Structure 1
Amino acid sequence: MDTLRKPPRRILIIEGHPDPSPQRLCHALAEAYREGAREAGHTLRTLILGDLDIPLLTSRSDWESPRGIVEICQQDLLWAEHVVVIYPLWLGDVPAVLKAFLEQVLRPDLRLIRSVRPRAGCSRGGPRGWSSPWACRAGSISAGSARTASEASAATSSSS
């Protein structure tokens, strides 16, 4: 069985809960993932967004010149071969701190493209029949029908 084991990977865990308190479920899930990944021999880094001072974008100059913690987070993303994002679903959407993080860090000049087969999924909770305009936005792929980016692109171009 050891011959089927995959080589160790560099994994970045992003904890997207704005409260850094260890009592939060998201932090417990991240810790469980960390333990399993360590036992499997992977190298880990963790970003706990509740502990970081992620600035909001308020001007064009903020967008054009990332500084400080934003550059450090970008380096962590570039280092990673696998990224895990754990966050609560609030009112059908991600917390504002995670949105600010993604807005700041995922800039057009950041080169994250690798020879991987990305998968996308969407999950939402709430009372039966409850729906939100923010949950599972157009263009997202539901967990039950995950496709690679190239398959989704081919489907879009063939239907137009």
Structure 2
Amino acid sequence: MSTRKIIVLNGHPGQMSLSKSLSEAYAGAARESGHQVRYHDLSQMRFDMDYGEGGYKNTKPLEPELEAFLADLEWAEHVVLATPLWWGAIPAKLKGLFDRALLPGRAFDSRNTNFLGLPAPLLKGRTARVLMTSDTPAMLLGLFYSNAIKKVLARQILGFVGIKPARFSTFAPATGAEGDRVRKWLRKAAQMGAKAA
């Protein structure tokens, strides 16, 4: 099996979380299997989430944590994101990271557009795995909510900058999960990490 360069982002803003445990299980197993892994923990990253008054022509300078994340995103071949599903979306701090770090010239080229006017993605050639914790089971996410969060992440964020396909693994119901259920989920994350899947 060939080794891969992997960036793992724990996208939960809290110090302790199931998302963190899943991302660490994935990263640890990937390292043990010989893959190169660079790990980022959103709860430890300090940056201004607000895009503010700046525009794409007048962007805020990236804080060191954002610059390191973006450099590792450019380095990676496979992107792993662990995130909770809150109110049908990702946490505000995680959205802030995407707002601030995925900029023209680094993530997409707004000077080079296709026939629909969409900018050329600059992060092509990378795949993604999203480890999503939720209280809504995956089947109900599709049935009641048309997998809206998956469409946003896969098409409007990751896919927009060229990271695709994005595959999803949902761990639900997450609130109050413990014992054998959590151990089973961590084993599943580790198995994916070992295969860089």
Pick closer, same or farther for the CA change 1:135–1:122 going to 2, 3 Å.
farther
Greater per-residue strand proportion: 2
What amino acid maps onto 1:20 in structure 2? Q
Distance 2:79 2:164 in 1: 17
Pick closer, same or farther for the CA change 1:84–1:140 going to 2, 3 Å.
closer
Quote the residue 2:149 is aligned against: 135
Greater gyration radius = 1
Quote the residue 1:67 is aligned against: 62
Distance 2:28 2:131 in 1: 25
Pick closer, same or farther for the CA change 1:53–1:109 going to 2, 3 Å.
same
Quote the residue 1:47 is aligned against: 40
Distance 1:120 1:31 in 2: 14
Q: Which runs of 4+ in 1 moved over 6 A?
A: 119-124
Quote the residue 1:126 is aligned against: 136
Contact 1:122 1:140 in 2 (8 A): no
Quote the residue 1:19 is aligned against: 14
The secondary structure found in structure 2 opposite 1:101 is helix
CA RMSD, aligned part only? 3.4
Pick closer, same or farther for the CA change 1:54–1:140 going to 2, 3 Å.
same
The secondary structure found in structure 2 opposite 1:45 is strand
Structure 2 gaps of 5+ residues are 108-121, 156-162, 166-197
Residues 105-126 of structure 1: CA distance to partner in whole angstroms, max 9, x if unpaired? 111111443445x578897752
Structure 1 gaps of 5+ residues are 142-147, 151-160
Distance 2:32 2:77 in 1: 18
Aligned-pair identity (%): 29
Pick closer, same or farther for the CA change 1:113–1:37 going to 2, 3 Å.
same
The secondary structure found in structure 1 opposite 2:89 is coil
Contact 1:11 1:44 in 2 (8 A): yes
Quote the residue 1:10 is aligned against: 5
